[in-house]
Structure formats: C-alpha cells, structure tokens
Amino acid sequence: MDAADFSAVLSEVRRFVRERVVPLEAEIDEKDEMPADIREAAKKMGLFGFALPEEYGGLGLSMYEEAQLMFELGYTTPSLRSMFGTNNGIAGHVLMVGGTEEQKAEWLPKIASGEVLASFALTEPDAGSDPSTLTTRAHLDDGGTSRSSAAESGGEWVINGAKRYITNAPLADVFMVFARTDPDAPRTRGISTFLVPAGTPGLTVAPKDHKMGQFGAWTADVYFDDVRVPATALVGGVAGLNRGFSTAMGCIAHGRVHISALMVGMAERLVDESVAYASTRKQSGKLIGSFQLVQGLIADSQTDYYAGRATVLEAARAFDAGTDTKVGPSCTKYFASEMVWRVADRAVQVHGGAGYMRGVAVERFYRDARLFRIYEGTSQIQQVIIAKALLGEAARG
C-alpha cells in the first residue's frame, strides 16, 4: 500500500479505537457482546480483510504493515480484534495458503468484506498444543470408485469428531475443519482441511464458553456427526489431500506475528493507564508517581513495551522477506505474551486495591492478557519450537 494511504488507514483506525471502542469497553465486558454498530463500522473500514489480497477485496497489507495496524487495534479490548481476526488470520489464510483458485474466488471476497465470518476448527479436547494428534475423521463416500476420481467427480466426504474452544463458532458462517483423512499415515501427513458451511446437517455448535476474560469474543465447542460435504469442500482439491497439517502450520506462523503485535498494543495501553493513575493518585499527601518504587514499575513496563515493539517489527520484516517464517514468529509470540503479562501485573500493582476492582481498565486487561500465554501455541510450545530449530541447525553444521 502507498505510504500515504497506509498512514491514513492507521489514523482512521486509531480514531475509531480510541474514540468509539475504548468508551464501550466496560459495556462489552459486562454484556459479553460486541455492539452491532461497531461490527458494521469495522466492515466499512475494511477490517475484515486487511490481510487478504486486494484482488479478492482485501487491503493486501504486508506483515510489517499488519503489525503496525495491530498495534493500534491492541490498544482496546482484544475482543475487537477477535471479531475479524480469524477472517484475516488463521481462517482466511487457509484459503490463501492452500485453496484452489475456485475456492479463493468463491470465498475470499465474502470473507474480506465481512459478509462471511470464518472459523478455524483445529483444536480438539485431546489435541491442543500438538494438533497432529487430532482424532476428527473424514472418509470419502466414493460409491465404489477410486479416491482421486471420486474427489474429482462428485464423491462426498463424511466428517465425524469434535473441536474445542473455536473462536467465533457461535457466529461463524463457515468452518475451516481439519480432519484425519488417512489414519495409516504419519500423524502430520494424514490430515486434510474442509470448508464446512454453518447449518450443514450434523454440524452442531455448543453454547458459548464462559471464559476468564476477553468477553465479547465468543468461543464454543463444535461437533460433527456424519457431516457430509461435497468433494469440492476439500481445501486445495485433490492436491490438498493429506496436506492440512502444513497448511495449518503456515497459517499459525502468520497468526503468531499478528497476535504478538496485538499484545504490544495492549502493553502500550497498560503503560498509559499506569502513568495516568500514578500522575493523579496521592498517598501520604504525595502523588504516587513521585515514589521511586512506583517509578521502577512504570520504567520496567515501558522498557518491556519498547522491546516487544522492536521484536515484533523485526519478526514481521523477516516474515515478509521469507527469511524466517518459523523461529521468528515463535520468538516474538513467546516474548510478547510473557511481556504483556508482566506489564499487566505491574499495572494492577501500580493501581493497588483499585487495580483489583471490576470496572477498572487494568483489572480487565489483566484477565484478558492471561490467555495470550496459551493460545496460538503456549509459551512452553514456543520454547520447544525455538530450541529444536536452533539445535537442529547446529546438528546440520
């Protein structure tokens, strides 16, 4: 995008976030719902497709540009980003990475406009940090023909299984479902991805989860009981058969940089909240900001924020260049998630007893921040990915 146009987009999003969404944060948290007018405004601004290609109606932002946009979106409740994050991220990228030209043409314009809300159905009750162990199955009802010819001429796939903690599931129009299509293949090689529209017979969405935080962003379990989809629902067509795991990993790597930038935006907000409170709250007749131990908390948080921002931008540059699409995303996700948790904890400490009260922004962000150390791969999984990559490189000499 032209630099001047991108600057205008950032300015518009910043105004939208700070003038329209921030004042509604407490209401969103209390009602566990995103206001309809905010959803419509996000659609008009192109936020449902900022990371999708321009040819399909998106803004076509690079990862570096996307990171800067996420800094702005992260300044408010993360449920705002969650509303359109899967369209731009892990769900929309399924089609970008692995879809056929026909699938892209049919679905991406609807996803980019917000006409269609997409969900990424990978996690299962017993397959979270290691999705290669998923047990949802899909078999081809081929009418006695070969697998490949049935896939090309109109056979149906039958899906059975269950997914857990699926973002936007109660609202989704289509699910990107990962299922095992070759039970005899090695764990990472027998998985495929399917486009399953909401309302397909046999697909059931459970009541939304009641979470610790991030209210306004809904998750739920999803069940598949002999769900039948046409051969054309196989993402990537015949060429996509048993390639779902690599598709998922490519989407998740992008998502890790994306979500890391969101955490940096949240850290900036937490620092601002801490500074504002320390500049007005008095103790013993003095502003608490005059106490050096409080100053130390604020200084540490600003330093964490500064380091997190630099880390994300460097990871985004490398991702765009294609020089690091695995270790960098894991490094930045690991650092940013631990960083924002430290900053949130210090913000509550600066606020003292007020920081523990519902209705105070830092209390809400404290609850919201905890999830970041878990989803998109736990901190411990990121450690394993980083260490294995480096040790493998060393072993190869």
pLDDT of the residue at 129: 84
pLDDT of the residue at 267: 98
Percent over 70 (pLDDT), the chain = 97
Cα–Cα nearest to 62, from 257, 333, 329, 265: 257
Lowest mean pLDDT among 120-129, 301-310, 357-366, 382-391: 120-129
Residue 118 pLDDT grade (very low, low, confident, very high; cuts 50, 70, 90)? very high
Residue 144 pLDDT grade (very low, low, confident, very high; cuts 50, 70, 90)? low
For residue 150, is pLDDT > 80? no
For residue 152, is pLDDT > 90? no
pLDDT in tens, 340-380: 999 999 999 999 999 999 999 999 999 999 999 999 999 99
Contact 122, 248 (CB under 8 A): yes
For residue 147, is pLDDT > 80? no
For residue 277, is pLDDT > 70? yes
pLDDT, averaged across the chain: 95
pLDDT in tens, 191-221: 999 999 999 999 999 999 999 999 999 999 9
Question: Residue type for 161, please?
Answer: G
Give the C-alpha separation, 58 to 113, whole Å.
Answer: 8
Give the C-alpha separation, 315 to 330, whole Å.
Answer: 9
pLDDT of the residue at 351: 98
Contact 76, 269 (CB under 8 A): yes
Residue 264 pLDDT grade (very low, low, confident, very high; cuts 50, 70, 90)? very high
For residue 146, is pLDDT > 60? no
pLDDT of the residue at 39: 97
| Token pair for 256 | 């890790």
pLDDT of the residue at 223: 98
Selected residue with higher pLDDT from 187 and 121: 121
- What average pLDDT does the segment 117-142 reach? 92
Give the C-alpha separation, 357 to 36, whole Å.
Answer: 28
SS (H, E, C) the chain: CCHHHHHHHHHHHHHHHHHHHHHHHHHHHHHCCCCHHHHHHHHHCCCCCCCCCHHHCCCCCCHHHHHHHHHHHCCCCHHHHHHHHHHHCCCHHHHHHHCCHHHHHHHHHHHHHCCCCEEEECCECCECCCHHHCCCEEEEECCCCCHHHHHHHCCEEEEEEEEEEEECCCCCCEEEEEEECCCCCCCCCCEEEEEEECCCCCEEECCCCCCCCCCCCCEEEEEEEEEEEEHHHECCHHHHCCCHHHHHHHHHHHHHHHHHHHHHHHHHHHHHHHHHHHCCCEECCEEHHHCHHHHHHHHHHHHHHHHHHHHHHHHHHHHHHCCCCCHHHHHHHHHHHHHHHHHHHHHHHHHHHHHHCCCCHHHHHHHHHHHHHCCCCCHHHHHHHHHHHHHHHHHHC
Torsion of CA 193, 197, 203, 208, to 10 degrees: 100
pLDDT of the residue at 1: 79
- Whole-prediction pTM: 0.94
pLDDT of the residue at 153: 54
Give the C-alpha separation, 287 to 191, whole Å.
Answer: 59
For residue 41, is pLDDT > 70? yes
Active site residues: 376
Selected residue with higher pLDDT from 90 and 162: 162
